Amino acid sequence: MESPDEAEELVREGEEALEEGEYEAALESFERALKEDPDHWGAALDRCEALHLLWRTEEALTAVQALRPPGDEEDDADRADLEARILEAAGEFTAADVLFEEAWTLDPEDFPKPVRTATDDFRKILDDVLRGLPKKIRDVVAKIPVTVEPKPTPAMADQASHITPEILGLFVGTSIGEKVGAPSGFPDAVLLFQRNLERTGKSRAEVSKEIRITLLHEYGHYLGFEEEDMDRLGLA
């Protein structure tokens, strides 16, 4: 049997795989760690996270709801937040907000309440952001519409493996550089995911800033920027 230190190493490897977007490898590491240390709270939470990011939503929800903090400790804010995010992926928004509130109660500093907005209010924030974009991007916006959706869906993920329930925005269609050679067959559009963006800041101003970064990132994809370009421009 592996030692506790080796189980910790498996968790570390799994968390690195999560960071790299290698969710299957991450899940394998967490499950190996749990075989060696079934009571490892971090591995158990991370396993649920990996299932969530793999769109194994029902399995992730069952697993996270079965978790109980050790001993007489109160519930963990990380666990409550994770359950809330999985519920969101399942389309259970009201139940999710109850759990986000619980996470905030347990740890208000690290788990602020989402900045919830009505659809019209979110669109107003978006319109303010659009007016403040550089002219080159505004010219692109005139051709490529912005659509707001509550959350990404498994159907979207079927089109591209990098799409997780947590993404903030998505460009669909064909970038300028690919239009001659390989059109995608999808109409060009930028999608913003309102409920995910509402969790990116503690205030409307912070959410507005993230909307701007996300828009620039997704329109950058249309213009043919590589991820390295995004990093250099601060749009990753």
Mean of the per-residue pLDDT values for the chain? 86
Mean pLDDT along residues 67-93: 89
**CATH 1.25.40.10 domain range(s) in the chain:** 4-106
pLDDT at 232: 53
- Compute the average pLDDT of residues 153-180: 80
pLDDT at 82 over 50: yes
pLDDT for res 189? 84
135 neighbors 184 (Cβ within 8 angstroms): no
66 touches 47 (CB < 8 A):
no
Distance CA 4, CA 37 (A): 7
Structure token pair of residue 45: 């939470």
Global pTM?
Answer: 0.86
- 227 band by pLDDT with thresholds 50, 70 and 90: low
Higher pLDDT pick, 40 / 135: 40
Distance CA 34, CA 11 (A): 9
pLDDT of residue 231: 53
As annotated, the residues of the chain forming the CATH 3.30.2010.20 domain(s) are: 119-233
pLDDT at res. 187:
73
What was the pLDDT predicted at 234?
47
As a whole number of angstroms, the distance between CA 74 and CA 80 comes to: 11
Long-range own/partner contacts, residues 105-110 (CB < 8 A, 24 or more apart):
106/74, 106/75, 106/76, 106/77, 106/80, 107/77, 110/77
Written as six digits, the tokens of 152 are 């990404």
Of residues 17 and 129, the one with the higher pLDDT is 17
pLDDT for the residue 186: 58
Residue 202 tokens read as 């503690």
pLDDT at position 119: 87
At residue 72, the pLDDT reads 64
Residue 179 pLDDT > 80: no
What confidence score (pLDDT) does residue 184 get? Answer: 44
**Segments in the chain forming alpha helices (H):** 4-19, 23-36, 41-53, 57-66, 77-89, 93-106, 119-131, 135-141, 154-157, 194-197, 204-222, 227-233
Name the residue type at position 198: E
pLDDT at 219: 80
- To which residue do tokens 């947590």 refer? 166
CATH among 1.10.10.10, 1.25.40.10, 3.30.43.10, 3.40.50.2300 for 4-106: 1.25.40.10
Task: Give me the CATH code for the 119-233 domain, please.
Answer: 3.30.2010.20
Q: Give 180's pLDDT tier (boundaries 50, 70, 90).
A: very low
Q: What is the pLDDT of residue 223?
A: 73
- When pLDDT is averaged across residues 201-213 and rounded to a whole number, the result is 93
CA–CA distance, 166 with 152 (Å, rounded to integer): 8
Segment 58-74 mean pLDDT? 86
Task: Give the pLDDT mean for 117-143.
Answer: 86
